Amino acid sequence: QVQLVESGGGLVQAGGSLRLSCGASGRTFSSYAMGWFRQALGKEREFVAAISWSGASTYYADSVKGRFTISRDNAKNTVYLQMNSLKPEDTAVYYCAAEEDLTVGVHYLVPSDFGSWGQGTQVTVSS
């Protein structure tokens, strides 16, 4: 497993932007597919975006498609989530996740697809 630490959350007004980062350590980062999930208060954890180990394939939830961009820098062992045009309904704790040998871009992903998780970072979007 890898150890994951998220950063970059905060409070932003609707329409604004934030960039989340997730640093990884412990294993070969470049062999892991990476994902972002979020969990709003009182709701289940939901898929946001994922990226393949090489960065060649990405997949997004319909709710964020066109507004969020996932990317990775394997030299820095870091995955990013650029969030633009934020809405109040994007308010949640955002979690980074990692899994080896996971195919990205074929089907919707769920939390059980990933074995390693970060502690989460709070994103709050005010109206």
Phi, psi for residue 84 in degrees, rounded to 5: -115, 165
pLDDT band at 75 (very low <50, low <70, confident <90, very high): very high
User: Does pLDDT of 26 surpass 80?
Assistant: no
Q: What pLDDT is attached to residue 80? A: 98
User: Does pLDDT of 30 surpass 90?
Assistant: no
Q: What pLDDT is attached to residue 77? A: 95
Minimum mean pLDDT among 17-31, 33-47, 110-124: which range? 17-31
User: Does pLDDT of 27 surpass 80?
Assistant: no
- Stronger pLDDT, 110 or 101, i.e. the higher one: 110
pLDDT band at 29 (very low <50, low <70, confident <90, very high): confident
pLDDT band at 97 (very low <50, low <70, confident <90, very high): very high
Q: E strands within the chain? A: 3-7, 10-13, 18-25, 32-39, 46-51, 58-60, 68-73, 78-83, 92-100, 116-117, 121-126
Q: What pLDDT is attached to residue 101? A: 85
